[in-house]
Amino acid sequence: MVGTRAMAPERIELNGRFRNDEQRDEERERIMKRFETIGVQILNRTGGGDPMHHDPISSVLADRDKQCAIPEGTASPERGRMLRREGLELALYTFTYMKQIDSVFEFMPAPLGKKPTSALFFRRADLEQALARPLNATLPAQPPFVSNTVSPAEVANIDRLTARNQFTYAFGQLKDGSAAALLTPIGS
């Protein structure tokens, strides 16, 4: 079960597959650690604040296990472009199928061990021309999206459509106690 609350799995019965109790207990512990690892990856830990006023957004963002990091590889301009491509595609799909949405804010991953500080922010008006065309006219590459499979024309589209939509962010508190994302354009 995933959500603001979850249940631990039932005790695992291994039904006599082991020669002794020690082997059985070691295997049970290994399996339970695997459940825990999976649970940490998928659990929506939205606690925070006090029981009467939880803040789901800040508690997920502050979660040490869900800080939006990419666990492997080396940051590069090409890799950043592929991440922006994914963000652009998500924004285009959102605006196409959810007509009531006017803006999309997307957190960009940080290197492992670092806090995320960059985001993409799109307004529907920013993407009007791209929204008037089929998605595959703007982003024709097929998965997997790696820099050597994306055409120069698509690279130009990604750069053109995301250049003004990249920001660093910080959270601030408004007078009424609510949170606001404070955006600074990258390159300013």
Between 73 and 152, residue with greater pLDDT? 152
pLDDT at site 10? 58
In the chain, the amino acid numbered 101 is I
Task: Report d(CA 51, CA 34) in Å as an integer.
Answer: 29
Instruction: Please say whether the dihedral angle defined by the alpha carbons of residues 103, 182, 113 and 8, taken in this order, is positive or negative.
Output: negative
In this structure, what token pair is assigned to residue 41? 């990856």
Q: Tell the burial category of 151 from Cβ atoms under 10 Å away from its Cβ (0-12, 13-18, 19+).
A: exposed
Whether 158 has a pLDDT exceeding 50, the answer reads yes
Measured CA to CA, the distance from residue 72 to residue 84 in angstroms comes to 18
**45 burial class (0-12, 13-18, 19+ CB within 10 angstroms)?**
middle
Q: What is the pLDDT of residue 177?
A: 82
Query: Phi, psi (5° rounding) for residue 160?
Result: -65, -40
3-state helix, strand, coil in the chain (%, to 5): 40, 15, 40
> Is 41 strand, coil or helix?
helix
Whether residue 183 contacts residue 164, with contact meaning beta carbons closer than 8 Å, is answered with no
Q: By CB neighbour count within 10 A (0-12 exposed, 13-18 middle, 19+ buried), where does 11 fall? A: exposed
Q: Which of 120, 124, 160, 123 is nearest to 139 (CA)?
A: 160
Please give the Cα distance from 69 to 140 (Å, whole number). 27
Residues 105-110 have a mean pLDDT of 86
* pLDDT tens-digit readout, 112-146: 777 788 899 999 999 999 999 988 888 887 766 67
The model's pLDDT over 31-49, given as tens digits with 9 standing for 90+, comes to: 777 766 666 555 545 554 4
Lowest mean pLDDT segment, chosen from 19-28, 66-75, 112-121, 160-169: 66-75
